Structure 1
Amino acid sequence: MDGSRRLGCAGVFALAVVLAMSSCGFASGQAMLSRELQALLLVKDSLHDPEGHLTGWGLAERGGEVEMELLACSSWKGIRCSSSPPYVVEALDVSSMNLSGFLSPAIGALHNLVNLSLAANNLSGPLPEQLWDIGSSLRFLNISNNLFQGPFPSANVSRCSSLQVLDAYNNNFTGPLPLQISSLTELRHLHLGGNFFDGVIPPQYGALLNLTYLALSGNSLTGRIPVELGNLVLLTELYLGYYNIFDGGIPSSLGRLSALVVLDMADCGLTDDIPAHLQNLTKLDSLFLQINSLTGPIPPGLGALTSIRSLDLSNNLLTGHIPPSLSQLLNLKLLNLFRNQLHGHIPSFIGDLPSLQVLSLWENNLTGRVPQQLGTNENLVIVDLSSNMLSGPIPPNLCLGDQLERLVLFNNGFSGSIPDSLGNCRKLVRVRLGNNQLSGSIPPGLLALPSLQMLEIPLNRLNGSIPLNIPLSTKLGRLDLSFNNLSGAIPASISNISALQTLLLNGNALSGSLIGEISQLKRLSKLDCSANNLSGVIPAALGQCGALTYIDLSHNQLVGSIPSDLQYLGVLDYLNLSYNHLTGAIPPSLQNIETLTSADFSFNDLSGVIPDKGQFATFNASSFLGNADLCGVQLVPCSLQTDSMHRRVQGEPALVYWLIVGIISSLTVVVFVVGVFCNRHAFCALLGRETVDSPWKLTAFQKLDFTASHVLSCLTDENVIGKGGSGTVYKCATPSGFVAVKRLPGTYSQANADVGVGGSNDHGFSAEIQTLGKIRHRNIVRLLGCVSSRETNLLVYEYMPNGSLGELLHGTRAGTLDWAKRYKIAVEAACGLHYLHHDCSPLIVHRDVKSNNILLDSKFEAHVADFGLAKVLDYPESMSLVAGSYGYIAPEYVYTLKVDEKSDIYSFGVVLLELITGRRPFEPEFGEGVDIAAWVRKKAQTKEGVMEVLDPKLWKEEDYADPFNSNVMGEIMCLELRSTAWWTFLCRGQPCAKWCRC
């Protein structure tokens, strides 16, 4: 047993001894060092160190006595001691060591500590008040990127009067900002952002005259920004934005901060005009005021900020012209003025700014021609001028320096041809030129650019043919050339675009046949070639594009029969073959496509019996009109068919019949044998049978007091607390309390085992589980560990005694949540999702956000749960199948299968509607095929309809007698959930738009 274990067994006594020793004056430097190293051992004992960084911290036994190592200061990782007597601990730096647990109060015994850094770990619990017992020696304190919670302890913070750096960024501190910090007059760097502080900014912070860095962003602060902050004349960086909602505008006193280099007040509810006093900030490098409600014109005085490189005034209510004085900003690299109400021309000086890299002016009322010299500085990376009223030609030199990555000009009146130079722009990622008046041909090299991911040029006047020579492309995912005047054949080389997901060629004059090579596009999810002059047959190879969800080949000259191979399109949702010259019968096998919700075979020359099972049972006559020889329950009864048709049916060869019977019988036997084999393995996995080939392994993400065998013993029917598509959940008792165990569906197969996939050998699964295991956020259910074998995986989560939000809204306990609780749950769930989307590293998309996956602890605090479908994203990617729950899936996700945070945002919007209405995503009262979003959008058009939307369990009649003047309604319509724009979407153009102030 080593020294740290012995100290751990008598931790309380040892702590008392150390604190008692700290009050005595030890003359010996060795005694002083001994005392401090013993305090460090207590600190170690309070930490969980899964990677063994602190294993070198310990005591050495010599001659039967425990003796402190004289060289401990050089051998203990993260510790630095003084170089000469008296030997004392001067620095403790254990940052980024994946430590968890709590910080022991013994830390206060290190009275000579100068630098303390605990950053980037998973430490939780309250920050001990004894920390300030370190005293006046402490100058640098960094506890950022941890999970400390509760109020920030500051009653005795003045004891550390020499503190210069205090960084508590990205923790879970609550309550008001600590007022006592204002006594730390030596403070240079103060970062309290990324927490849950509320209330106002103390005006006393204006007394911290030595501050050069102040960050209070990312909290829940309110009130006015105190004018006293203008006293901090040494400030070089000031961050006040993001999730704080302040009253009023920018104090003009901030114009006195002449040393400021960065001023970030984005997304914090600012109103009024931008004060002219900001022109005094001549050293400013970055000014971020976006996502507010600032009004009035852009102050001409901003032209005096000649050092500025980033200017973002986007998403405000600014009016007037772009002032000519901005021509003096010769160092400007980023100019964001989008989503305002600016008008007039784009000044010519914009094209002359020598350092400009990003120009975003979209969604304004700008008119006239774009400066033709734009891009001659050879530095442009992003140009977005979309949704204005611009005209004239596209500047020819936008990619002169070959740096351009994004060109977005849609919804304008640009004319002339697309500059040929864009065909040589090797770094282009996105090109969106839709809804203009562009003419001429497509530049030959545009479809061959190596980095291009999106090319959209719809609704223009392009002519000529699609370029024939398209080399192998691995990145182009969306190609939209619809509604132009393109002619000629679809080039077979389009099949070289291996990453293509959306191909829109509709509304042109294309001819020739639909290429069979299209089967090589394995990721293709949407194909629209409608309204052309295509001829020939529908290639059977189209059935090999297994990711297709949308096919529209209508309004062409296609002939021949409908290929039965289309039955293999297992996720097909929309099929339109109308207005062609197709013949033969509709293949009965198409009724086996379970996902098909819309189909149109009208106005062809089809004959025979219309399938009437599966999804075909839901189609009405409009899907089959204009086919004289078709019959079926949806159209004309088959008893009225002509005798000739009967003769053709009766004349089928018997040989074909018996051949089909034989094939079906053989396949049945094969499927039965395979099924028995698979079920045998699944049954073994269910029993948790341990074999030599598949031992159970426990992977812990924090200190656990149970084993894999303990978890396996809980997998009994009486412990089941939930079942779903992603697995069965069990309640499991452990020595320290209950945990929840989810058994994922078995995925083992010998083929997978041979390549190391499935169960614990699934490296992709393991990598993602490792990432999810490191998530530490108060509004996300914590993954404690994973028990795995080759057959299955068991995930161990913290237990949530109040079950799911779905149960409390729609189950037997419905009605127990009042509006205050619902509002709180919505905000907390939004915080959890925001962490996954923006603050987690790497970013995570949940993909199954729903009320049943928001769990509630004993205090009804919300926790996002069930990451069975979650994906770790370094960049947006596409999935092979639609994932999610019915009623929560974003419509565009069904078509594109593109995984990004927007699909989660849509699903969360549905949860918000559940909270407000008390209804499920689909209810009979909505009508057939109508979901909750469509129902609310329709009801919200009238005052009476709004009354039907609100859950009657929440309010009395007098509470919403006049919803237009009700504070309750104001809260409903303006949930402070800035991760969604749902109410704006629901209310756009309707009388309730005035409620949508979020």
Structure 2
Amino acid sequence: MADFFFLPFFFFFFFLRSCNSRAILSVTEQASILLSLKQSLRIPDPLLSSWNSSNTSSICSWAGVRCDASERSVVSLDISNSNFSGAISPAIAGLRSLVHLSIAGNSLSGSLPSGIARLPCLRHLNISNNQLNGSLARWNFSSMATIEVFDAYDNNFFGPLPLELVKLPNLRHLDLGGNYFSGSIPAAYGDFPKLEYLSLAGNDLVGFVPPELGNLTSLRQLYLGYYNQFDGAIPPEIGNLISLVHLDFSSCGLHGEIPPQLCKLQNLDTLFLQTNQLDGILPPELGNLTNLRFLDLSNNALTGEIPKELSALQHLILLHLFINRLHGEIPEFIARLPDLEVLKLWHNNLTGVIPQGLGRNGKLRELDLSSNKLTGEIPPELCAGRKLEILILLNNFLFGPLPEDLGRCGTLSRARLGQNYLTGSIPKGFLYLPKLSLVELQSNYISGRISDELQQIPAMLGLLNLSNNRLSGSLPASIGNFSALQILLLSGNQLSGAIPPELGQLKRLLKLDISHNNLSGEIPHEIGYCSQLTYVDFSENMLTGAIPNEISQLRILNYLNLSYNHLSYNIPKDIAAMKSLTSADFSHNNLSGRIPDSGQFSYFNSSSFIGNPELCGLASNPCKFSTSSPLQSNPRHSGGGLRSQLPGKFKLLFALGLLACSVVFAATVAIKTRSMIRKTSKAWKLTTFGKLHFGADDVAECLKENCVIGSGGAGVVYRGTMPSGEQVAVKRLLGINKGSTHDNGLTAEIQTLGKIRHRNIVRLLAFCTNRETNLLVYEYMPNGSLGEMLHGKRGGYLNWNIRLRIATEAARGLCYLHHDCCPLILHRDVKSNNILLDNNFEAHVADFGLAKFLRNTGASECMSAIAGSYGYIAPEYAYTLKVDEKSDVYSYGVVLLELITGRRPVGDFGEEGLDIVQWAKMVTNWSKESVVKILDRRLADVPLEEAMQAFFVGMLCVQERSIERPTMREVVLMLEQAKQPYGC
């Protein structure tokens, strides 16, 4: 495409003589047109400073302007990538000699002036990456006989695809991707006579891919994927595009088998068919595409074995077949592909051994074979070319030792080898590789010592997980050299000796777990230097001595477990005063003295202190020098709160009372329902939650197909306008079948939203029902959901200030639910699509169909099944079905990461099991200073301190253990520190 935009100027001059002769404007007149264009734009200084009325005679030297040889006519105008906004002045159509016009990469809005279509010499028009809108279906393209390049990528054009484009005899490059074009692809789009580049990707197109596209025999690049949702299969006629070099049908809903006719595309360099619903076997005919370098068929439903015919693809650089249903062995020929750099086959049913020659070509950079059923040993030459960066083999049945050569692989950044049967020791130098940021070797049978290599100072390692192995010996002093380490997991080994004081040098450490070992000696007081710690577990060792008071210096510590050791003396009162500490376990030691009754300790369960015979203050061992033990004076210490202290008879009476109320309520509802049905089976009943200026019939009028604005598992959402002009959103739910216990969230949503009054929670206006249909009437949110705004085509519209404000407002809404409602409310489906934005982009938490009342403060509830959205569900909820307010906090943390990165929670990271939480931790090494590595690239001028604080809050919210996460009230307070004050 660059060749199109930068033609030699002598070609311009020649062409000017041949295009239709028109009256040539004077230099002064052309300068006036350019100044009119400048006036219509909002331009950051000092851009276009050369465009001024004092030097109109020298417009050919103005920025972005090129003239013909006589310097009488402007033939090229390029003001691309200049951060302009505003609209394009229609006066631009007066530059009749324009051959090249590029306004790409700005923030221009409004419609495209129709006069541009009448420029007689225009050959190259690039308006991409703006916010231009309107329909192009009626644009007069037929007058643009000279046009060769039309690039409208990434705008807001809508309506059907323009048909008149087909009449352009010289069009070679057409890009309409990244817009809102709808309907089907016209069959006439197969009639372009000279088209070489066609992109319709990233629109809202439906229907079938027309087989007529197979007539575009000059086509070299074809893009139809992303957001489009086509029916049917890939047309076999695509195989007729013999000039095709790049074919991309990714993420567009295609199903059926891969047509073997694609084998005729002998010039194909890239074939991307990932994230569809393609099934059947991998066609052996793909082996005929001998020029193929990039092949991605991942995330489909392909079956069978990897065909041996693919061995002919000797130029293959990238091979992605992950998330399919492939079985059989990994063929040996894959190891012999001379140019292979990236191989990802994870999440299949592959068996057998990994080809032992893999990596011998010296070019392998990324390897992910995780979540298969592979056996045998890890190939010894994976890093033969010293280029291996990512090695992921977790969750297989691999055995034998780690290759010694991995200890010399200086390019390796991530090694995930956990959940196998690996034996032997950790190769010398492996943990100290200079670029290594993540190591997972957990749940293997690795033995030996952790080597002490003081001469090397690693700078990158952020996560080290060696838990559940057979490591022995002492923890080396060189552990203090891992200055970037943020997660250290060594539990479940046979480590012995003292904890080295050098541990205090790990200033970035967030999580430390060395439990279930044989460590002895005292807890080093240097632990107090690790000021970022939120989680510490020293349990089930042989530690002695006193609990160091320096632990109280860990100001954000949430979890502390010192149980099952031989610790003595008293529990320091300063630790009891730690406001951040929400869980602590001192049980089964030799502690003595009184249990502190201040601060957080007053909330801890007595099980946190049992097994210390000389520790008084327990119900079983009250302090003799006190008239009443602390636990007796504060019933919360017994672990059940005041309710657990109530007499059994009172509990029984209370339960019977509730039962009686329920029976009366049910009978009343039944009587009223029968009465209503007798009156009319079709009549609407409107229940309002405030003063309204419309009735039930007005609401029912909204139920029209052309009013649909969204749909989900619970029903369809309509946009309606009431007689007063007020706009509302009407959610139509399925009717409740007689005898059914499932009401699609209706009861929960009415009970919850009918009571809530908060500016950051969507307001339920009314409930409208008849015998067949149930309608919820909400205030209308003009800017849709946060998810649509972030991940749709307008994703770059939200600047940093708006994003941070949305984050704080959403936190305020959840804070109200968790702390100020009675009873407290768990949302259970916090996600970006359930945060709606009003006309001012103010955030409102919405969709309470899964909400639950939390009737016992601080307790969790066990659900019968997992509810919520993939990518947002907290780990403990997925594993145990137990849910509390910290489950919402985790989901909110995912939303906060979405706001920071602009990425979806899942699917954007190209690796088995990798979601936005794991990816953010991996890329940043848990360091908030590294937030720049994950910031949304569409954002400009982001205050680094604010981004760092928001990222820090997000990381706290998505801690794996719920006890480590802050409350929503704490989240609001921390976000206040990032920006201006907000209340809860």
- 2:377–2:398 Cα contact (<8 Å) kept: yes
Superposed displacement of residue 609, structure 1: 2.2
1:169 counterpart residue number? 153
1:955 counterpart residue number? none
**Distance across 2 between alignment mates of 1:823 and 1:410:** 47
1:678 counterpart residue number? none
- Please tell me whether residue 361 in structure 1 is matched to residue 348 in structure 2: no
- Please tell me whether residue 116 in structure 1 is matched to residue 101 in structure 2: yes
2:401 counterpart residue number? 417
Partner secondary structure for residue 205 of structure 1? helix
- Please tell me whether residue 834 in structure 1 is matched to residue 786 in structure 2: no
Q: Residue 979 of structure 1 aligns to which amino acid in structure 2?
A: R
1:787 counterpart residue number? none
The residue correspondences of 1:645-684 to structure 2 (distance < 5 A) are none
- 1:810–1:918 Cα contact (<8 Å) kept: no
- Please tell me whether residue 908 in structure 1 is matched to residue 832 in structure 2: yes
**Distance across 1 between alignment mates of 2:593 and 2:811:** 50
Do the aligned partners of residues 157 and 423 (structure 1) sit closer, same or farther apart at CA in structure 2, a change above 3 Å counting? same
Equivalent of 1:575, from 543, 560, 567?
560
**Distance across 1 between alignment mates of 2:777 and 2:253:** 23
Deviations 1:944-968 (A, max 9, x none): xxxxxxxxxxxxxxxxxxxxxxxxx
1:514 counterpart residue number? 499
1:41 counterpart residue number? 35
1:490 counterpart residue number? 475
Do the aligned partners of residues 423 and 591 (structure 1) sit closer, same or farther apart at CA in structure 2, a change above 3 Å counting? same
Equivalent of 2:761, from 809, 823, 834?
809
The 10-residue stretch of structure 1 (312-321 or 613-622) with the greater mean CA deviation from structure 2: 613-622
Do the aligned partners of residues 557 and 410 (structure 1) sit closer, same or farther apart at CA in structure 2, a change above 3 Å counting? same
1:917 counterpart residue number? 848
Partner secondary structure for residue 55 of structure 1? coil
Equivalent of 2:457, from 452, 472, 485?
472
Partner secondary structure for residue 566 of structure 1? helix
Superposed displacement of residue 32, structure 1: 4.0
Partner secondary structure for residue 357 of structure 2? coil
- Please tell me whether residue 141 in structure 1 is matched to residue 71 in structure 2: no
Superposed displacement of residue 914, structure 1: 5.3
Equivalent of 1:454, from 438, 441, 448?
438
2:716 counterpart residue number? none
Identity %: 46
Equivalent of 1:852, from 785, 795, 809?
809
**Distance across 2 between alignment mates of 1:640 and 1:854:** 47
1:295 counterpart residue number? 279
Partner secondary structure for residue 257 of structure 2? coil
Deviations 1:535-555 (A, max 9, x none): 011111111111111111111
- 1:427–1:451 Cα contact (<8 Å) kept: yes
Superposed displacement of residue 72, structure 1: 2.4
Please identify runs of 4+ aligned residues in structure 1 that moved more than 4 A.
24-27, 639-643, 810-828, 835-851, 884-888, 909-914, 934-941
Q: Residue 88 of structure 1 aligns to which amino acid in structure 2?
A: S
Do the aligned partners of residues 593 and 617 (structure 1) sit closer, same or farther apart at CA in structure 2, a change above 3 Å counting? same
The 10-residue stretch of structure 1 (565-574 or 171-180) with the greater mean CA deviation from structure 2: 171-180
Q: Residue 35 of structure 2 aligns to which amino acid in structure 1?
A: L
- Please tell me whether residue 530 in structure 1 is matched to residue 515 in structure 2: yes
- 1:109–1:133 Cα contact (<8 Å) kept: no
- 2:767–2:777 Cα contact (<8 Å) kept: no
Deviations 1:93-118 (A, max 9, x none): 11122222110011111222111000
- 1:263–1:287 Cα contact (<8 Å) kept: yes
Deviations 1:786-836 (A, max 9, x none): xxxxxxxxxxxxxxxxxx997363558688998798998796422332379
Superposed displacement of residue 530, structure 1: 0.5
Superposed displacement of residue 533, structure 1: 0.1
1:946 counterpart residue number? none
2:585 counterpart residue number? 600
Do the aligned partners of residues 455 and 172 (structure 1) sit closer, same or farther apart at CA in structure 2, a change above 3 Å counting? same
Do the aligned partners of residues 343 and 635 (structure 1) sit closer, same or farther apart at CA in structure 2, a change above 3 Å counting? farther
Do the aligned partners of residues 129 and 26 (structure 1) sit closer, same or farther apart at CA in structure 2, a change above 3 Å counting? closer
**Distance across 2 between alignment mates of 1:197 and 1:227:** 20
Deviations 1:636-661 (A, max 9, x none): 46345799x99xxxxxxxxxxxxxxx
The residue correspondences of 1:793-808 to structure 2 (distance < 5 A) are 807=759
Partner secondary structure for residue 392 of structure 1? coil
Partner secondary structure for residue 326 of structure 2? strand
Superposed displacement of residue 573, structure 1: 1.6
Partner secondary structure for residue 31 of structure 2? helix
Q: Residue 38 of structure 2 aligns to which amino acid in structure 1?
A: K
1:539 counterpart residue number? 524
**Distance across 2 between alignment mates of 1:926 and 1:290:** 47
**Distance across 2 between alignment mates of 1:303 and 1:821:** 56
- Please tell me whether residue 979 in structure 1 is matched to residue 904 in structure 2: yes
- 1:363–1:388 Cα contact (<8 Å) kept: yes
Partner secondary structure for residue 349 of structure 1? helix
Q: Residue 460 of structure 2 aligns to which amino acid in structure 1?
A: K
Q: Residue 852 of structure 1 aligns to which amino acid in structure 2?
A: E
Partner secondary structure for residue 374 of structure 2? strand
Deviations 1:760-802 (A, max 9, x none): xxxxxxxxxxxxxxxxxxxxxxxxxxxxxxxxxxxxxxxxxxx
**Distance across 1 between alignment mates of 2:446 and 2:758:** 51
Superposed displacement of residue 82, structure 1: 1.6
**Distance across 2 between alignment mates of 1:887 and 1:371:** 55
1:322 counterpart residue number? 306
**Distance across 2 between alignment mates of 1:838 and 1:406:** 30
When normalised by structure 2's length, the TM-score is 0.67
Partner secondary structure for residue 453 of structure 2? coil
- 2:206–2:231 Cα contact (<8 Å) kept: yes
Do the aligned partners of residues 481 and 887 (structure 1) sit closer, same or farther apart at CA in structure 2, a change above 3 Å counting? farther
- 1:822–1:915 Cα contact (<8 Å) kept: no
Partner secondary structure for residue 131 of structure 1? helix
- Please tell me whether residue 79 in structure 1 is matched to residue 79 in structure 2: no
When normalised by structure 1's length, the TM-score is 0.66
**Distance across 1 between alignment mates of 2:474 and 2:388:** 31
Deviations 1:101-155 (A, max 9, x none): 1100111112221110001112122222222232x31110001111212333642
1:99 counterpart residue number? 84
1:90 counterpart residue number? 75
Partner secondary structure for residue 326 of structure 1? helix
- 1:610–1:630 Cα contact (<8 Å) kept: yes
Superposed displacement of residue 939, structure 1: 6.2
Superposed displacement of residue 88, structure 1: 2.0
**Distance across 1 between alignment mates of 2:305 and 2:781:** 42
Superposed displacement of residue 526, structure 1: 0.6
**Distance across 2 between alignment mates of 1:401 and 1:375:** 7
**Distance across 1 between alignment mates of 2:809 and 2:800:** 23
2:604 counterpart residue number? 619
Do the aligned partners of residues 154 and 854 (structure 1) sit closer, same or farther apart at CA in structure 2, a change above 3 Å counting? farther
Q: Residue 599 of structure 1 aligns to which amino acid in structure 2?
A: A
Q: Residue 336 of structure 1 aligns to which amino acid in structure 2?
A: H
- Superposed CA RMSD in Å reads 3.6
Partner secondary structure for residue 334 of structure 2? helix
Partner secondary structure for residue 809 of structure 1? coil
Do the aligned partners of residues 468 and 367 (structure 1) sit closer, same or farther apart at CA in structure 2, a change above 3 Å counting? same
Partner secondary structure for residue 586 of structure 1? coil
The residue correspondences of 1:723-738 to structure 2 (distance < 5 A) are none
- 1:119–1:144 Cα contact (<8 Å) kept: yes
Partner secondary structure for residue 317 of structure 1? coil
**Distance across 1 between alignment mates of 2:306 and 2:863:** 42
Do the aligned partners of residues 841 and 490 (structure 1) sit closer, same or farther apart at CA in structure 2, a change above 3 Å counting? farther
Deviations 1:870-928 (A, max 9, x none): xxxxxxxxxxxxxx97999xxxxxxxxxxxxxxxx9753774995332677x8535864
**Distance across 2 between alignment mates of 1:818 and 1:473:** 60
Partner secondary structure for residue 787 of structure 2? helix
Superposed displacement of residue 581, structure 1: 0.8
Superposed displacement of residue 51, structure 1: 2.6
**Distance across 2 between alignment mates of 1:561 and 1:625:** 17
- 1:808–1:815 Cα contact (<8 Å) kept: no
Q: Residue 613 of structure 1 aligns to which amino acid in structure 2?
A: S
- 1:808–1:814 Cα contact (<8 Å) kept: no
Q: Residue 221 of structure 1 aligns to which amino acid in structure 2?
A: L
Do the aligned partners of residues 192 and 338 (structure 1) sit closer, same or farther apart at CA in structure 2, a change above 3 Å counting? same
Superposed displacement of residue 367, structure 1: 0.6
**Distance across 2 between alignment mates of 1:592 and 1:465:** 39
Do the aligned partners of residues 439 and 603 (structure 1) sit closer, same or farther apart at CA in structure 2, a change above 3 Å counting? same
Superposed displacement of residue 595, structure 1: 2.5
Higher relative contact order (CA 8 A, sep 6+): 2
